Amino acid sequence: MTRPDLRRFFTALVVLGSVLAQVAEAAGEPTRIRIYGAAIEVPDPPGLVPLINKDSHYYRFGARLQAQNRNQLFGYFLPPAEAAVADIDQLPTPSHWGIAYGVGPMLNRTVTVEQFQKEVVPDVQRSVVAAANDPALRRKLGEGTDASVAMLGRELAVDAGKLRMGEITPLGAFDKGERYATFGAATRIRVERGAEVMEAPVITVIGFIVVKERLFCIAVYRMYREEKDIEQARRDADAWAQAIVRANPSGP
């Protein structure tokens, strides 16, 4: 290693240490969002911390994915070490992660608990089944995701590869409270990077939450390796949803 390389190496270590310190300091502090004038606190998901550099390419990648569906990304959460990598504008490789986001049509309206129970939850159940049985929709989602992955690779000057989405298998309704409901699904993904091909299912648990008469979503993702990964994703999403409800009592 040449002397200039050593300087760059130690500089990177200093920057990484600084970011890790900021992540540690921010851990436990809730992410604060606003929906239609209401201030809402979003505690961290179990074992994850928020990205603090919202100008990073990785955070913007997540924001683009949501914007494609007219949604708004409120927070991106990774394991602490992976969050530090993303915050110094490098490409993390997490095995589990989470996001909080606003659903486009719900960003400028109120939703009562009664509406949530009688209208939103049944509609979500129908939509999950419809998405699983609609190959055209899966293809559209895959094309949009692949384009965003390619852009991220160009921005970071790395080979991010090509991403393909396969079948979606609904895992049904998981947990439900007065103000939240979570639903699970398994999606098979295929990543092609040069001659290397990786296929793996990803467990997704999406939670719909209504607090202060505002509706938004959380999602917990976990690479599937064994059966217990499904239960872990389910527990994490349920615990996160409950923590959000506790952190936001009724009122403005």
Q: Global pTM?
A: 0.77
Q: Which strands form 180-193's sheet, in the order they lie side by side? A: 49-50, 72-78, 96-102, 214-223, 196-211, 180-193, 162-176
174-202 residue pLDDT tens: 899 999 999 988 887 766 666 666 667 88
Instruction: Please report the DSSP string for 161-217 in residue order.
Output: -EEEEEEEEEEEEEEE-SSEEEEEEEEEEEEEETTEEEEEEEEEEEEEEEETTEEEE
**Residue 6 — very low, low, confident or very high, per pLDDT cuts 50/70/90?**
very low
Task: Indicate if the pLDDT at residue 8 is higher than 70.
Answer: no
Q: What is the pLDDT of residues 83-99, one digit of tens each?
A: 999 999 988 889 999 99
Query: Is 251 in contact with 190 (CB distance < 8 Å)?
Result: no
- In this structure, the strands spanning 38-42 and 162-176 are unpaired
Non-local CB neighbours of 93 within 8 Å, separated by 6+ positions = 82
* Dihedral (Cα; 22, 26, 27, 32), 10-degree rounding: -150
Q: Which helix (H) or strand (E) holds 155?
A: helix 135-156
Which residues does residue 77 pair with via DSSP β-bridges, in sequence order? 50, 98
Rounded Cα distance, 143 and 156, in Å: 20
Say whether pLDDT at 161 is over 80. Answer: no
Greatest alpha-carbon pair distance for the chain in Å reads 66
Tokens of residue 52, six digits: 């603090």
Q: According to the model, what pLDDT value does residue 153 have?
A: 43
